[in-house]
Structure 1
Amino acid sequence: MPADHDRAYPRPIHPLHAVLLAGTVPLFLGALLSDWAYSSSYEIQWKNFASWLIVGGLVLAGFALLAALIGLVRGRSGRRRIIYVLLLLAAFLLGFVNALVHGKDAWASMPEALILSAIVTALVLAATWLGFSTLRAGVTP
């Protein structure tokens, strides 16, 4: 098999990596919507929903980040892949800070929690888009 074949057709994203990466989007988006609902209604249960959704998003983002780092260590690096890993890392770290902010008293976490949830959701959306566009088969890095 020619060496050019490997460069023209990179390995596709592993199915487990794809599930973990795609699963972060609805969890962090749900946390953003729950924070927005809490800021509109002052119903504490919305903040509790957001806290649990953030924890679930952090678990999936952590495993997706681990899979992305393994991919980098195995020699599949490129500028877009490094940006993907950095976006995922930033989303994970800010998501962790967001989880700590959600640990505050109910109204004491606002508007910080809502702003952090919006930023984390945007980062996760960008990382997911970049991850799927970079890691799929047939795309040159």
Structure 2
Amino acid sequence: MNSLVVPHRSTLANAVYGLLNPLPFGFFVAALIFDITYVRTAGVLWNKGAAWLIVFGLLLAVIPRFVNLAQVWITSRHIARRADRLDFWLNLFAIVAAIFNAFVHSRDAYAVVPAGVWLSACTVVLLAIAHLVMAVQRSAAEEYVHE
């Protein structure tokens, strides 16, 4: 008797991923807004606020990446779609850009400009593309199920 066992993803891991995955995007968007405000006003508060937002975004981005790493590349690699892998890489590149951005924001005062703004924008664009890819995948999967 040869039965094919279809691998499935953990419900708990999916819940943790679904809960924590959107949070870093919000922090990084807020950091970009703070960076743009800092460029226009030169108020040091905006620079320091952006630095803290980037740190919190990075802290919250690590856990969903580990869950995604396990689901896409280790446990469910046979059922992982191309969009899942693209989402993983886009998020990973965004995290690397945010790490460099955190180092840039450790500089003093106006030395953050323009590198901090560009790295914040790069992080937000990468995460936005990743979210769009996953939204398109979910939409296509729902259309396939409903037909």
Q: Which has the higher contact order (CA 8 A, sep 6+)?
A: 1
Moved over 4 A (4+): 10-13
TM-align CA RMSD: 2.7
Note the 1:1-141 alignment, pairs <5 A. 14-72=14-72, 73-75=74-76, 76-134=79-137, 138=141
SS of aligned partner of 2:21:
helix
Give 1:124 shift: 1.3
Q: Distance in 2 between matches of 1:16 and 1:22?
A: 11
- Alignment: residue pair count: 135
Q: CA deviation at 1:15?
A: 2.1
Mapped contact 1:68–1:85 kept (Cα < 8 A):
yes
Unaligned runs of 5+ in 1: none
Percent of matched pairs sharing the same residue: 26
Equivalent-residue separation in structure 2 for 1:66 and 1:135 (angstroms): 21
Larger radius of gyration: 2
Amino acid across the alignment from 2:44: I
Using a 3 Å threshold, how does the CA distance of structure 1 residues 15 and 63 change in structure 2: closer, same or farther? same
So what's the TM-score if we normalise by structure 1?
0.84
